[in-house]
Structure 1
Amino acid sequence: MRWVGFTVWFLSAVDIALICYVDAVDRMNFKSCQQSSFCRRCRGVQPGKSSYELHLNTLKVEPSSIEAEMVNTENGARFRFQLFALQDGTFRMKINEWAPLKPRYEVQYALQGEPLLNKLKVIERTAELVSVEAGANKVTVHAIPFHVDLFSGDELVISVNARGLMRFEHMRLKPEQSEGGEKTEGEDGPHHDDTVSDPGAWEENFKSHHDTKPNGPTAVALDFSFIGAHYAYGIPEHADSFALKSTKNMDPYRLYNLDVFEYELNNAMALYGSVPVLIAHGSTHTVGMFWLNAAETWVDILGTADQNVVSSIVNFVSGSATPPQVDSHFMSESGIIDTFFMLGPKPKDVFRQYTKLTGTAPLPQYFALAHHQCRWNYNDQDDVRNVDNKMDEYDIPNDVMWLDIEHTDSKKYFTWDPIKFSQATEMINNLTAKGRKLVTIVDPHIKRDSNYFLHNDAENNDYYVKTKDGKVFEGWCWPGSSSYLDLLNPEVRSYLSSQYLLQNYHGSTLDLYIWNDMNEPSVFNGPEVTMHKDCLHYGGWEHRDIHNIYGLLHTISTYEGLLQRSGGKLRPFILTRSHYAGSQRYTSVWTGDNTAEWGHLQITIPMCLSLSVAGISFCGADVGGFFKSPDAELFVRWYQAAAFQPFFRTHSHIDTKRREPWLFDEHTLSFIRDAIRKRYSFLPLWYTLFFEHEQGGAPVMRPLWAEYPSEVPTFALDDEYLLGDKLLVHPVVHPGVSDVSIYFPGPQDVWYDIDTHRKIQGGGTVKIPVTISKIPVFQKGGTIISKKERIRRSSSLTHHDPYTLFVAVDRNGSASGTLYIDDGQSFDYRKQKYLYLSLEFNGNKLSSRYLDAAWYPSRSWLERVVILGLPPGVTNAQVESKSGGRVTVETMYNSETQSLTVRKPAVSIAEEWTIVLQ
């Protein structure tokens, strides 16, 4: 969101919005690589001319690490090289200055704790190289020129600095100008590199903004080659294809959290989040890397199509074919080189290895996975009540109502408009009575108003970010003149957390949850619509050093506040726009201010897949598009797509037409209702998948190659995906279509249409007919899915409702699945108060068994079993359980769909049982 002037301080936020926005993103407001001096310098390094050497005579070996001195032979700058062996097939490499003029920033808060070390063994050491092994993996560090090869088993999978693009700009004193205008050397020694002569090295201008760069040039850059990889994925957030494109003839991908209005599609421009995680996948191996740096970062990608550039990088055994390869080049403005290598070998191994570093999403409350209704803005508490009642009137399930910035008293967060929302607690309690929740927005900009308690507290306690001169930073955002809490300061985060306590956030209850927006941070009159890089934070760190974690720090504060509010009992729910590695431990993410266009619907899949493989599983997009107004067909198709994406929220701009479903025609309303109701029927599956994500790190929404890693046709697909390993989803995202071409993976697998139960053979592309009511979703043969088919107005009202099992048999007539159940809201599941069930069908016998010793007193029971792909011949079923004994129940066979229904087995879901078909 963009500010365009300084003379409208008296306007409301709505007025500001109307004059700030134009028809599309203005690229002139955002830098290109060529306009960014450090990117220009780093990208200008010529391949094959690395000036960095290791002095292996200084090598120190510890039980889990090695360390040696590194030297830049061009200018004599000295560095410390460290390599650590971590548990679970992961290595960490750090390079920092040996004795910097001042400390360089090392990222905090992204990791979930100090990584666990593994034992490391030196297996070869010469003057030219040192090789170490840890477990089944090996690393060889070459001294001259410096480069590192990482092996998974005996297979070379990653080569570091193979192209010789490393650059580490050591800190130095600014050169003085002599009387004749010539530069003289600084006190730290010679300056033989080109950073001093670069016009943007010591200070830089962009449009009307000046960056003083008090520490001078401090960029770090390094190249990574992924041998055997067909494609690379990740480094969100970009509105681009899932498989990363070659940047040979374009700007690099940019990681710099920005408020970009009506972002364009299919380009590498920076957006709201930055997760510097890259996954490289080939037909034999999957690996990953995590570039732990919070400064502005650019990433070049070269693929197999650029072999003229990369073919000479790695020498293979004579006569062997050159494998496919993807190269990357990471370039950051400041900080150190701190990189993690996840060596797989399989996709799920990499997901697990990465999330062991940065964490998984904690199991969300059950309601958070249901349908959310939002708009900027619902006018007042009567409007909220009316929309809520209309949901019931039109039989549309809904779990959450949302309020944007207009609910506050003059854009002051933690307050309510005294007229429009004068009965906030009553409004929330009315929702709670129906099993629903409320979400309100809390942004990081603080209105500079002497009548605002939060501003006064921040001023009096020195809680604000400072300018380069040490004064309180002032910028413009929705309230007008604003300042920004210095969230790098633990005391400030603690203060912000305390504002969520019920005694401080007046009008709130335990059923109110939080939306953190504008936390890039967005500064309407700042450079690139964000904060000046030379602003100062706690500890003397510049904003340039920590920019990409500002939103993470914001959500950490919110999470701790919601946790404290309930005494640690209830799981927080938060939505954020700005995000970084580790954000998944605290919050869900949405893809920002999209547009009601078909292209924006299409891009929701690759954007969420990119977030998912980078650890952020709880993602979604504004249903219907934030800007503009969707027509009926687009609106229906968006609901249908979102019903099978993790976070499911309708949202729209204040200047758009109201778009509640009942405002459309009856047919459109019915299609939307059906999509939402379908989502609710699958909530037990969603809940189970999120529990399993927390345990093992595998994305909930995942690319096909995650389950079919050697199936090459899946590698570039980004218009379909899997939910867990059970559902294949291919939403209709184009207008006016009567069929969609769907790739069904697995030549040995079968798939079942969830609506018609039609069986489809895997291993190829099939054209599937669709009508406006059809959502193409298919259950994999060999899986069991649990559903709740009694749809109510909110998910909490179904807590004790019965389950229906859909058993889709594979070619051998077998199937398996899991079901997870707990109280849906508390952290008691971490005290073993849950049910985790293994469901198995084999030899015409279906059984449920406890997967571990945990137990929860669920009152739900089994209402129905539908077995897909079963040949005829079964006449009845015998149900056996401890409490119910042995009972014979009815079955019904459908010869057209080859499906058998077992009616009312009526066994408790909380005990073990068996159903035998006869």
Structure 2
Amino acid sequence: MRAAISCLLLVTLGISQLATAFKENEFKKCAQTSFCSRNRNMQQGANFDIVPGSIVLNTATLTATLLNKGFDKHLQLTVTSHSDGFIRVLVDELPDVGRYQVPSDVLVSGWETKKLAFKEESRTSSAITLSGGETKLVLNFQPFSLAISVKGVPALQINSRNLFNFEHRRPKQENDPAGFWEETWMGHTDSKPKGPEAISLDLVFPGFQHVYGIPERATSLSLRSTNGAAPYGEPYRLYNLDVFEYLDDHPFGLYGSIPVMLAHKKGLTVGVFWLNAAEMFVDVVKGRSEVGTQWIAESGILDLFVFTGGSAPAVLSSYARVAGTTALPQLFSLGYHQCRWNYKDEEDVKEVDGGFDSHEIPYDVLWLDIEHTNGKRYLTWDSSLFPSPVAMQEDLASRGRQMVTIVDPHVKRDSGYYIFSEAEKAGHFVKNKHGSDFDGWCWPGSSSYLDVTSPAVREWWAQQFTLDKYQGSTKHLYIWNDMNEPSVFNGPEITMQKDNLHYGNVEHRDNHNLYGIYYHMGTAEGLKLRGSQVDPENGDRPFVLSRAFFSGTQRVGPIWTGDNAAQWSHLKVSVPMLLTLGLTGLPYSGADVGGFFGNPDAELMTRWYQLGIYYPFFRGHAHLETQRREPWLFGPETTARIRTAIRGRYTLLPYIYTLFRFANTSGLPILRPLWYEFPENEDLFAVEEEFMAGPAILVKPIVAPGVSSVDVTLPVGARWYDALSGAAVPARSRSQRVTLDSIPVYYRGGNILPLRERPRRSTAAQLADPYTLVVALDDKGEATGSLYVDDGRSFAFQRGQYLHRDFTMKSLKLSSSKHVEPGVPSGALTVPTTIERVVFLGLPASKRGYKALIGAKHAVPLEPGPLTMLAPQYENALVLRKPGLPVSHDWEVEIVAL
């Protein structure tokens, strides 16, 4: 949310002063960070050899001893082949000195024992060659390097440029270089009691030109080289930080870190995941025939997963088996959210809620920021502003709406505040290097921070969300975790000192990037606990938005891209930011519609809503000092356009919810770059100006003012239809005229989309509505799609209480059948809803038209009509009206020419 103010914070007065722009000089670069500067581009990898005779091959695992010749120190190398489509490479010190390893609860379980046996193909005095499935490994001994190929195609090389290094633990020496044991930055001194323990990892992707991933940052989809002109002469940084009004084209790391990278070329996708939670820098250097990367982490061990599935869906599915899939969200959370820092009081809430109804704009969630609390004491209410929070929430719920309140990790140091007093007494706070409770400054002033890396602390924190503990809360209240990087206004780089101590005497430097996900986990467990008390049989799926994140956050809840600005450039960069998050396993994400800072004009707001309806998480949000910007405050024409856009989101919800089910079961992204769906088209590998929403919808945002036409690329190999008019559009790059009323959106032939078209005030009001199927035929006259339905809120779907139907159009026959997915229990839910319209796009021309045969006797003519009821003026589709097709059961409709 609000980024911190660090040096501008007047701590002694307890007053915070908002900065006016991103201050790059307040954050460290590689040259100012000793572990990075002493390893960047340093060819130390030739010092590491495999010790002769140390190799042991045991079915699916190879172990060997690595010797660092420069220091006569040994390392343990372990390479394991897993049947889920990846290789795991581990390197740690010998003997074990207890270097930090990311705890197992960050990942899922079960994959560890699923191994694929290696076959030893050859062994010489200089190398050993192994194969497993379609993957081949060549381990070279002197110096150590590892080459991996997939289906005979080179995929990855480790230490081919001799940039590998592994710093060992050592006693302090008088002549140790500066930065080994102490480092000072802007008045903050890091004591570094364990000395140097950085790791440099040299990864080369041979034959590739494009790599993607390592969020979060506001930069291009295909990562740029970091050996260019400023600011791209600086490596990408993975270090969760509170960044105020970030720049829109910059390698600087933001609020979250996912150390995952994908490389894609024609015929092959490969992925890597370094399970390490310390500060990390990543260089990318693109050559004519390869992409070279150097990864430098401050501490921990090397725990590298190499995903060798060969395609992007296979790579992401394999990664999901390790880090987990996306938690299935509640249906309401996919509707529109209205937020502001801050809705002032209960009367303000009532007026905003009523404004949506009076302007006939649907929404599902109203949010309250930090000012709703009693003096920034979270899980409390300011009784002068919100005297009746339960009645307020119940009133919203009577119209099918929910509320979200903010809960940040800093705890006001006030002995009269029950959260602080209980946590202090139990020893639940992060400690400073001397062992006392850490005292940092944030919104309440002097604050302590819960040590959520401790399972016991997370369990205690979860208990605070039950209805009897969180006074004024109801089952309709959900949570927003902000500032959980963690943000510390008076700390180095606006975060916690690295020599602070966590559970198990772990230094903060080792687990910094995990703090946010652990806080997120504890909060989500609290809502699960509350839900189990309210509905013991089925529970209640938690909704908790987080700003900080790490690998595995997708199992917990959504994130957003933080403190963006009301600028066209921030609208534009939101697309590659969200695409990157999807490619690294975190698809449930969004950007603040309208921009958090500044005052958007009507055109920018319109274009942002028209794009935002495709964000997986769809929220409007604004800073305290901005002008009010509810959707009806920009004049009647703009209100009408925004209303149409938001209604379009609700029309798409059956399709979007079904995409989330596939993300939940298979780890697939919601938003996808064009190359993901068209992996052989090299012209698309760097395209970020348009994207796919699932497999069926192509979206071209308008990201500049005053635009009357845009260039659109419709990939060849597919048939395309204008999603507004239903007209067929040739597959090629073309200029498309646009107005303020809409942005270019296209349906891809070969897909069937389930929709709900009746305008309603919320998702709850849609639950009994019938469906529309849009059948967009490909060149063969075929199409497929599916619809997933459950109760939209509970965990009953895990017991099979869901409905999932597949739709197929082939040989002019449209049919519905039960969806079967390997490894997923079959659904047993039935619903009374029906399909009220079937819209056909691309049927062959027929002079006399078509009729639909439903069952043995019932024949209904297809009539020219609109694709969508939002645009009734177009009649480029053939429509089957009121066929009465049951959603829950098998059926077949035959289309016959008259």
SS in 1 for 2:81: strand
Letter in 1 for 2:184: N
Partner of 1:311: none
Deviations for 1:595-615, whole angstroms, at most 9, x for unmatched residues?
A: 000000000000001101000
Sort the Cα spacing of 1:679 and 1:134 in 2 relative to 1 into closer, same or farther, 3 A.
same
Distance 2:254 2:454 in 1: 25
Sort the Cα spacing of 1:588 and 1:886 in 2 relative to 1 into closer, same or farther, 3 A.
farther
Partner of 1:109: 105
Shift of 1:255: 0.3
2:836 to 863, 878, 889: 863
SS in 2 for 1:515: strand
1:627 to 570, 593, 597: 597
Partner of 1:656: 626
Using the TM superposition, name which of 530-539 and 361-370 deviates more.
Answer: 361-370
The answer to whether the aligner puts 1:877 opposite 2:859 as a matched pair is no
Where in structure 2 are the equivalents of 1:29-68 lying within 5 Å?
A: 29-46=26-43, 50-68=46-64
Partner of 1:362: 327
1:142 to 127, 135, 140: 140
- Whether contact under 8 Å (1:878, 1:886) holds in the other structure is no
- Paired residues in the alignment total 869
Shift of 1:873: 4.5
Shift of 1:353: 1.1
Partner of 2:787: 819
Partner of 2:519: 554
The answer to whether the aligner puts 1:829 opposite 2:797 as a matched pair is yes
Letter in 2 for 1:608: L
Partner of 1:900: 878
Deviations for 1:274-310, whole angstroms, at most 9, x for unmatched residues?
A: 0000000011211000011100000000113xx4xxx
Where in structure 2 are the equivalents of 1:430-579 lying within 5 Å?
A: 430-567=395-532, 569-579=539-549
Partner of 2:5: 2
SS in 1 for 2:315: helix
Partner of 1:404: 369
The answer to whether the aligner puts 1:226 opposite 2:213 as a matched pair is no
Where in structure 2 are the equivalents of 1:336-351 lying within 5 Å?
A: 336-351=301-316
Where in structure 2 are the equivalents of 1:83-232 lying within 5 Å?
A: 83-113=79-109, 115=111, 116-175=114-173, 177=174, 183=175, 196-197=176-177, 199-232=178-211
- Whether contact under 8 Å (2:209, 2:286) holds in the other structure is yes
Using the TM superposition, name which of 553-562 and 869-878 deviates more.
Answer: 869-878
Please tell me the root mean square deviation across aligned C-alpha atoms, in Å. 1.5
Where in structure 2 are the equivalents of 1:631-646 lying within 5 Å?
A: 631-646=601-616
Using the TM superposition, name which of 428-437 and 837-846 deviates more.
Answer: 837-846
Distance 1:103 1:670 in 2: 59
Sort the Cα spacing of 1:847 and 1:211 in 2 relative to 1 into closer, same or farther, 3 A.
same
Distance 2:9 2:657 in 1: 48
The answer to whether the aligner puts 1:248 opposite 2:255 as a matched pair is no
Distance 1:886 1:443 in 2: 63
Partner of 2:535: none
The answer to whether the aligner puts 1:849 opposite 2:812 as a matched pair is no
SS in 2 for 1:790: coil
Sort the Cα spacing of 1:380 and 1:40 in 2 relative to 1 into closer, same or farther, 3 A.
same
1:787 to 737, 755, 777: 755
- Whether contact under 8 Å (2:118, 2:130) holds in the other structure is yes
Shift of 1:125: 2.4
Distance 1:100 1:915 in 2: 67
SS in 2 for 1:617: coil
Distance 1:33 1:328 in 2: 15
- Whether contact under 8 Å (1:3, 1:476) holds in the other structure is no
TM-score, normalization: structure 2?
0.95
SS in 1 for 2:456: helix
Deviations for 1:135-162, whole angstroms, at most 9, x for unmatched residues?
A: 2212111110000011112222101010
Shift of 1:22: 2.3
Where in structure 2 are the equivalents of 1:304-323 lying within 5 Å?
A: 304=287, 307=288
Unpaired runs of 5+ residues, structure 2, are 533-537, 821-825, 867-873
SS in 2 for 1:579: coil
Sort the Cα spacing of 1:800 and 1:907 in 2 relative to 1 into closer, same or farther, 3 A.
same
The answer to whether the aligner puts 1:75 opposite 2:53 as a matched pair is no
Sort the Cα spacing of 1:384 and 1:56 in 2 relative to 1 into closer, same or farther, 3 A.
farther
Deviations for 1:327-377, whole angstroms, at most 9, x for unmatched residues?
A: 111100000011000012111111111111101112111111110000000
- Whether contact under 8 Å (1:872, 1:893) holds in the other structure is no
Letter in 2 for 1:558: T
SS in 2 for 1:409: coil
**Percent of residue pairs bearing the same amino acid type:** 42
Sort the Cα spacing of 1:632 and 1:343 in 2 relative to 1 into closer, same or farther, 3 A.
same
Distance 1:491 1:647 in 2: 31
Deviations for 1:15-50, whole angstroms, at most 9, x for unmatched residues?
A: 62xx1x222111111001100000001104137x52
Where in structure 2 are the equivalents of 1:349-388 lying within 5 Å?
A: 349-388=314-353
Distance 2:153 2:842 in 1: 41
Using the TM superposition, name which of 487-496 and 566-575 deviates more.
Answer: 566-575
Letter in 2 for 1:128: S
Partner of 2:823: none
Sort the Cα spacing of 1:56 and 1:703 in 2 relative to 1 into closer, same or farther, 3 A.
farther
Letter in 1 for 2:393: I
Distance 2:424 2:8 in 1: 25
Runs of 4+ in structure 1 over 6 Å off: none
- Whether contact under 8 Å (1:223, 1:329) holds in the other structure is yes
Letter in 1 for 2:281: W
Distance 1:591 1:103 in 2: 32
The answer to whether the aligner puts 1:727 opposite 2:662 as a matched pair is no
Using the TM superposition, name which of 722-731 and 841-850 deviates more.
Answer: 841-850
- Whether contact under 8 Å (2:216, 2:254) holds in the other structure is yes
Letter in 1 for 2:158: V
The answer to whether the aligner puts 1:23 opposite 2:20 as a matched pair is yes
Distance 1:692 1:273 in 2: 24
SS in 2 for 1:528: helix
Partner of 2:675: 705
The answer to whether the aligner puts 1:751 opposite 2:720 as a matched pair is yes
1:263 to 230, 238, 246: 246
Distance 1:9 1:880 in 2: 77
Distance 2:9 2:671 in 1: 44
- Whether contact under 8 Å (1:820, 1:837) holds in the other structure is yes
- Whether contact under 8 Å (1:374, 1:402) holds in the other structure is yes
Distance 1:538 1:874 in 2: 76
- Whether contact under 8 Å (2:225, 2:283) holds in the other structure is yes
SS in 1 for 2:837: strand
Distance 1:121 1:564 in 2: 48
Distance 2:865 2:451 in 1: 64
Shift of 1:844: 2.0
Deviations for 1:217-248, whole angstroms, at most 9, x for unmatched residues?
A: 11011111111212000000010001000011
Unpaired runs of 5+ residues, structure 1, are 178-182, 184-195, 308-323
Using the TM superposition, name which of 209-218 and 108-117 deviates more.
Answer: 108-117
Distance 2:505 2:319 in 1: 31
Shift of 1:8: 4.6
Distance 2:140 2:849 in 1: 70
Distance 1:371 1:10 in 2: 39
SS in 2 for 1:467: coil
Partner of 2:277: 294
Shift of 1:64: 2.0
